[in-house]
Amino acid sequence: SYELTQPLSVSVALGQTARITCGGNNIGSKNVHWYQQKPGQAPVLVIYRDSNRPSGIPERFSGSNSGNMATLTISRAQAGDEADYYCQVWDSSTASSYVFGTGTKVTVL
């Protein structure tokens, strides 16, 4: 089955840039989506189809995807960005299913 690997944690200073990676075999050929989840809350979509922001998501959130790595970038990090972040793809290779990454805890210092 398809696997997505993320770093366990990323720390970023207030106002600086955080980059969260999502590794997968030839992930550049897939659409990657990113979710933010704060404690006790449902996930929120922050980037869809590699680099698109849903309505209401700040421009500080951006995404890219190429080769074997997708990246979520949070610019000018704010305290409110502290959360868990998950990447996701649709895997049709072995079974039709969504696959989530392992998740990354972002801490804003």
Q: Is residue 51 at the binding interface for other proteins, with CB under 8 A as the rule? A: no
Contact 70, 32 (CB under 8 A): yes
Distance CA 49, CA 44 (A): 15
Q: Is 58 in the site for other proteins (CB under 8 A)?
A: no
Report the residue number, 73 or 76, with the smaller CB distance to other proteins: 73
Does 48 bind other proteins (CB under 8 A)? Our answer is: yes
**Token output for 108:** 């804003």
Cα 86 to Cα 48: distance, rounded to the nearest angstrom: 12
Residue 54, interface with other proteins (CB under 8 A)?
A: yes
Compute the least distance from the CB of residue 58 to other proteins, in Å. Answer: 16
Site for other proteins in 75-104 (CB under 8 A): 84, 86, 88, 90, 92, 95-103
Which is nearer to other proteins, 1 or 26 (by Cβ)? 1
Q: How far apart are CA 98 and CA 1, in angstroms?
A: 11
Strand partners, 71: 21, 64
The DSSP code for 76 is S
Contact positions vs other proteins (CB under 8 A): 1, 31, 33, 35, 37, 42-45, 48-49, 54, 84, 86, 88, 90, 92, 95-103
